[in-house]
């Protein structure tokens, strides 16, 4: 069963999550930042793979969500007034959404983590970087040592 329990993540990721949440919510008080997926079972990973949302199938290739403590978490942005997930708010401006997520993944890069909004860490967002393909702005993970 996939979880949203940040205490299942690597301690450095837990610390980063707390920092990012505090900083983001100070800067954008109309919104909140919450974990949307921390641990994911291999079976659930296969579902993500088949849907094209991950390069890892959970069988031959494990994702950083598939072990405990996890080496990754996904975070989402929610409207504080009603708790709505910004990705599901009708008419929420796409550019505004991108900018809010970019604030998080740029913080992650500054702190030495790898972000699915810019996998190669060149500062060019994944959706406009011809060298990248999987747009996963929610995903943050530890860099490989
Ligand atoms: Ca990039």
Helices (H) and strands (E) in the chain, counts: 3, 4
Considering the entire predicted model, what is its pTM?
0.94
6-137 — its CATH code?
A: 3.30.1380.10
What does the block give as tokens for 11? 């301690």
Q: What is the pLDDT averaged over residues 34-42? A: 96
**For 52-105, how does the pLDDT look when each residue is reduced to its tens digit (9 = 90+)?**
999 999 999 999 999 999 999 999 999 999 999 999 999 999 999 999 999 999
pLDDT at 30 over 90: yes
Q: Where are the domains of the chain?
A: 6-137
**For 109-142, how does the pLDDT look when each residue is reduced to its tens digit (9 = 90+)?**
999 999 999 999 999 999 999 999 899 999 999 9
Ligand 1 centroid to Cα of residue 81, in Å, is: 33
Q: Please enumerate in sequence order all residues whose Cβ is within 8 A of that of 129, keeping only pairs 6 or more positions apart, or say none.
A: 118, 120, 122
Ligand 1 centroid to Cα of residue 82, in Å, is: 33
């Amino acid at each position: 069963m996939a979880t949203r329990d940040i205490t299942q993540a690597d301690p450095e990721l837990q610390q980063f999550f707390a920092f990012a949440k505090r900083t983001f919510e100070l800067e954008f008080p109309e919104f909140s930042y919450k974990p949307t997926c921390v641990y994911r079972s291999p079976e659930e990973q296969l579902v993500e793979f088949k849907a094209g949302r991950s390069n890892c199938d959970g069988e031959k290739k494990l994702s950083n969500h598939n072990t405990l403590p996890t080496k990754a978490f996904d975070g989402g942005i929610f409207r504080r007034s009603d708790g709505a997930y910004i990705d599901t708010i009708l008419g929420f401006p796409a550019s505004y959404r991108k900018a809010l997520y970019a604030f998080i993944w740029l913080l992650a890069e500054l702190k030495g983590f790898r972000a699915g909004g810019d996998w190669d860490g060149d500062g060019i967002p994944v959706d406009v970087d011809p060298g990248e393909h999987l747009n996963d702005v929610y995903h943050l993970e530890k860099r490989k040592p």
